[in-house]
């Protein structure tokens, strides 16, 4: 549905789904899920289970199949993070040009092709160079798939319930990566080994992609979201120029990087910490990771709904940033300094998983900071999400040698303190505040000034 038609209140074209605020509410609307996208949420969950299968063991797997050391394995994961960061930005920019569905198709194909090459020519041959290349290129896959669906979600949900809608997205996203993914690995690793488990992951990726691309018929995602006059180069430029034309969006991008950069960095250092230093088994670590993020997916929903009531900034600043600064220290230092009890480690892991969810409203806040260029805002949001996959392992690569694990964890805690301060600057513009009160979507909020000017 075009924004002009939405602002004028005209009937949408046949085969198009009108904004949720313009039709009778269903039970799906009340819980925050755009009903036409239901199969997409299911598909993202299954896809991210496949992507998350490796999260608890990929660093030691790469180390044992050609890398030879923890630091060299971190270089492969850092290269992966670079492509994830680039693809995350492109997912927003390209969704504006081609439509989210087409970009999701491209992400699915990239994941499958380069994963097969990584497994057959890289890992199976203990070829470090090819692992670096193919695993790095595979990094384009999941952001183009998952974050393009997030663009689809933000284009269809009313602003007043956008926090809940993105909460459901992250319920699906983190439900797979790493929650159910790690749980799957804890079952399949003893049966098939780590190498066989990675082939199981590939099958899950294909199933999740089929759910999304065959099951979702909502038409907004089938076509470009950018205005007709916007050219490809112009669209890509707009997705970057917003960083200085709307500095709040740039600040939000930094906050989004800090949100999960420590999480990605911890995945590099915690497997060896809990197994080698604390004496837990590989299965114990994978179960701890699963429980941690099972807690996270519950709180993704909770904080998504709560943030629509108490404010997105408040939720991000206090529950997310301040909460994570404290819980990331507890996750590492409580087991290390106070006890080696497994269930104590699980408990502090659950607290970290819960506080990570406090950042969920950033995906509602970012496009609302720039309703007139929500595609550019989403591109920077996704750049921040992908940037975290690079920044976290990069911090480990740079500081693990000179500072050790203790120093790396202290850096992560400091980053969360920085995020708490930056959140103070993320105040919504009037157009978005009015859209919340009136139950409008971001498309309507962006289009209304245009319609108003046309009548004066």
**Mind listing the pLDDT tens digit for each residue in 100-127?**
999 999 999 999 999 999 999 999 999 9
What is the model's pLDDT at position 30?
A: 74
**Which parts of the chain register pLDDT below 70?**
1-25, 435, 438-456
6, β-bridge pairs: none
- Looking at residue 256, its pLDDT comes to 96
Residue 441, pLDDT score: 61
On whether the CB atoms of residues 299 and 315 are closer than 8 A, the answer is: no
Looking at residue 442, its pLDDT comes to 60
For the entire predicted model, the pTM comes to: 0.78
Q: Quick one: three-class SS letters along the chain? A: CCHHHHHHCCCCCCCCCCCHHHCCCCHHHHHCCCHHHHHHHHHHHHHHHHHHCCCCCHHHHHHHHHHCCHHHHHHHHHHHHHHHHHHHHHHHHHHHHHCHHHHHHHHHHHHHHHHHHHHHHHHHHCCHHHHHHHHHHHCCHHHHHHHHHHHHHHHHCEHHHHHHHHHHHHHHHHHHHHHHHHHHHHHHHHHHHHHHHHHHHHHHHHHHHHHHHHHCCCHHHHCCCCCCCCCHHHHHHHHHHHHHHCHHHHHHHHHHHHHHHHHHHHHHHHHHHHHHHCCCCHHHHHHHHHHHHHHHHHHHHHHHHHHHHHCHHHHHHHHHHHHHHHHHHHHHHHHHHHCCCHHHHHHHHHHHHHHHHHHCCHHHHHHHHCHHHHHHHHHHHHHHHHHHHHHHHHHHHHHHHHHHHHHHHHHHHHHHHHHHHHHCCCCCCHHHHHHHHHCCEHHHHHHHHHHHHHCC
Domains of the chain, start order: 37-222+237-454 (1.20.1250.20)
**Which pLDDT belongs to residue 440?**
62
CB 317 within 8 A of CB 420: yes
pLDDT value at residue 2: 35
């Amino acid at each position: 549905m075009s924004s002009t038609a939405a602002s004028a209140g005209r009937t949408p074209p046949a085969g198009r789904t009108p904004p949720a605020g313009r039709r009778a509410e269903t039970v799906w609307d009340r819980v925050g899920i755009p009903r036409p996208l239901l199969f997409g949420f299911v598909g993202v969950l299954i896809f991210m289970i496949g992507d998350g299968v490796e999260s608890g063991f990929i660093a030691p797997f790469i180390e044992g199949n050609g890398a030879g050391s923890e630091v060299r394995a971190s270089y492969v994961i850092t290269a992966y993070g670079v492509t994830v960061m680039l693809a995350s930005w492109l997912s927003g920019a390209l969704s504006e040009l081609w439509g989210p569905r087409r970009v999701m198709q491209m992400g699915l194909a990239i994941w499958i092709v380069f994963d097969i090459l990584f497994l057959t020519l890289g890992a199976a041959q203990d070829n470090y160079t090819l692992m670096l290349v193919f695993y790095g290129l595979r990094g384009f896959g999941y952001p183009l798939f998952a974050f393009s669906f997030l663009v689809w979600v933000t284009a269809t949900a009313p602003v007043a319930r956008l926090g809940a809608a993105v909460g459901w997205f992250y319920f699906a996203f983190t439900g797979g990566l790493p929650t159910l993914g790690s749980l799957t690995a804890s079952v399949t690793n003893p049966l098939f080994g780590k190498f066989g488990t990675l082939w199981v992951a590939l099958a899950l990726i294909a199933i999740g992609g089929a759910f999304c691309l065959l099951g979702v018929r909502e038409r907004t995602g089938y076509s470009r979201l950018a205005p007709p006059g916007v050219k490809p180069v112009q669209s890509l430029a707009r997705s970057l120029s917003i960083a200085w034309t709307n500095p709040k969006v740039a600040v939000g991008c930094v906050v989004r990087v800090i949100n999960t950069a420590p999480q990605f960095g911890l995945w590099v250092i915690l497997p060896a910490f809990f197994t080698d230093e604390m004496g837990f088994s590989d299965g114990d670590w994978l179960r701890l990771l699963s429980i941690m993020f099972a807690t996270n997916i519950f709180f993704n929903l909770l904080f998504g709904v709560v943030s629509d009531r108490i404010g997105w900034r408040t939720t991000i600043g206090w529950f997310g940033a301040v909460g994570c600064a404290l819980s990331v220290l507890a996750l590492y230092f409580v087991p290390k300094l106070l006890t080696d009890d497994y269930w104590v480690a699980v408990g502090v892991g659950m607290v970290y998983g819960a506080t990570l969810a406090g950042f969920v409203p950033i995906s509602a806040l970012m496009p609302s900071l720039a309703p007139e260029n929500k595609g550019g805002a989403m591109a920077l949001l996704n750049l921040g999400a992908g940037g975290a996959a690079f920044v976290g392992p990069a911090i480990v690569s740079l500081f693990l040698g000179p500072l050790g694990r203790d120093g790396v964890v202290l850096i992560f805690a400091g980053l969360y303190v920085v995020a708490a301060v930056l959140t103070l600057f993320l105040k919504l513009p009037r157009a978005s505040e009015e859209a919340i009160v009136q139950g409008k979507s971001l498309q309507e909020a962006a289009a209304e000034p245009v319609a108003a000017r046309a009548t004066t």
